[in-house]
Amino acid sequence: MSTPPAATPAQHPAVPFLKGHGTENDFVIVHDPDNALDLPAATVARLCDRRAGVGGDGLLHVVRSAAHPEARAMADRAEWFMDYRNADGSIAEMCGNGVRVFARHLQRAGHAGAGDLAVATRGGVKRVHIAKDSAPGAGDGDITVLMGRADLPAATVTVAVGARTWPTTHVDMGNPHAVAFVADLDHAGDLLTEPSYTPSAVYPAGVNVEFAVDRGERHLAMRVHERGSGETRSCGTGACAVAVAAARRDGLDPAVTGAPVTYTVDLPGGRLLITERPDGEIEMTGPAVIVAEGHIAPGLFAPSQTVTS
C-alpha cells in the first residue's frame, strides 16, 4: 500500500482568531491550547501587518502552560500561558496591556470568571483580577494585573531624538524600559523610528523607550516606542516603568515611605492607574476589550514541528 501524500498547508483548516485592545494597544489573539500551531516570526509579522494581515501591535498566542516547553514549570500555578510576540514576530517577555486582553479572552471563552486568575508569562506568573461588574461579552469593567516588582539596574543611559538628549531611568518590568522625563511630548518626534541610546550595550536585546511629562500631582502623560513594534497607543509595562521612575524622582519610594503610591498615567489610547505597594508589588488597572473575531485563511499556518513531550 502506498503512503498517502503529506497534507499541504492549504489543506489545513482556517484558524480562528480574535482582535482585542487594552487602551488601544491592540492584539491578534490566537487560541491554541495544545500548542499545535507553528508561529515563525514571518507568520506573526504578516498577521500583525495592518494592510496585508489582521493588524496589531502584537500577537497573543493562548496556550495551556502544560503544553508549552517554556511554561511547563509554571503549570502548577497557572493553567494558561501568554506566548507573546511583538508585531515584527520577535518574542517578548511580557506585555501589560496584553495580559489584560488575554484575561478578557479567557473570560469571554468561559475559561475564567470574575475574580482572580493566574497567567503564566515569560516574565513569570502574573496574578490578574477581573472586576465583578465585568461583562465577558461587552468587555466592560476594569482588569487589574499584579505586575510583579520593578528592578532598577544602576545604568546610565542617554536617549536622543534629533539634537535633543535626555538622561533615562532604567526600569526592568520583566522587559527593559528606558524612561526619559521631557518638557513636551512632541519632543519625542516620530517614534516609528527607534530612538538612539548610548551606551547601546546596556540593552543587548533592545529596549522600550518612554517619554513622560507631568500633568499634575501624581499625574503623568507618556508616549512610547516599543521594541519590535514602533510607537504604540499604549504600553502597560511602560506605564508601570514611568510610574516607578516618577516615584523615585519624587522621593515617594514605597519601600522607604511605607505607604503605597498611585500615579494616573495617560497614554494616547487611554488611561491606566499604577500603584506601587510597600512590598514592591505593582498593580496596573485598566480596560480590556474584545472587538472582533473571525478566521484566518487556510494555508497560513502549518502544524507545529516543536517537540512538546
Which of helix, strand or coil describes residue 65? Answer: helix
Binding residues: 25, 86, 96-97, 175, 208, 226-227, 236-237
> How far, in Å, CA of 80 to CA of 83, rounded?
9
105 in the same domain as 36: yes
Give the closest residue to 156 by CA, choosing from 175, 177, 170. Answer: 170
Residue 150 located in a structural domain: no
Answer for the pair 273, 264: CB distance below 8 angstroms, yes or no: yes
187 in the same domain as 108: no
Helix (H) or strand (E) holding 44: helix 41-48
pLDDT of residue 14: 84
Range of the domain at 124: 9-142+289-296
Residue 152 located in a structural domain: no
pLDDT of residue 13: 72
208 in the same domain as 113: no
Give the number of domains in the chain: 2
176 in the same domain as 93: no
Place of cell 505586575: 147
pLDDT of residue 140: 63
Each of the 309 residues of the chain gets a pLDDT tens digit; together they read 444 444 444 455 789 999 999 999 999 999 999 999 989 999 999 999 999 899 999 999 999 999 999 999 999 999 999 999 999 999 988 899 999 999 999 999 999 999 999 999 999 999 999 997 655 554 568 999 999 999 999 888 999 998 999 999 999 998 999 999 999 999 998 876 789 999 999 999 899 999 999 999 999 999 999 998 889 899 999 999 999 999 999 999 999 999 999 999 999 999 999 999 999 999 999 999 999 999 998 766 654 444 343
37 in the same domain as 75: yes
Give the closest residue to 119 by CA, choosing from 130, 128, 109. Answer: 128
Bridge partners of 115, per DSSP, are 130
19 in the same domain as 137: yes
Residue 308 located in a structural domain: no
Residue 83 located in a structural domain: yes
> How far, in Å, CA of 124 to CA of 212, rounded?
27
Residue 3 located in a structural domain: no
135 in the same domain as 238: no
Residue 306 located in a structural domain: no
162 in the same domain as 125: no
13 in the same domain as 73: yes
pLDDT of residue 136: 52
Binding residues for substrate: 25, 86, 96-97, 175, 208, 226-227, 236-237
Give the domain CATH number at 94.
3.10.310.10
250 in the same domain as 196: yes
pLDDT of residue 214: 98
Active site residues: 95, 235
281 in the same domain as 231: yes
Residue 245 located in a structural domain: yes
First-to-last C-alpha distance (Å) of the chain: 31
263 in the same domain as 232: yes
Residue 187 located in a structural domain: yes
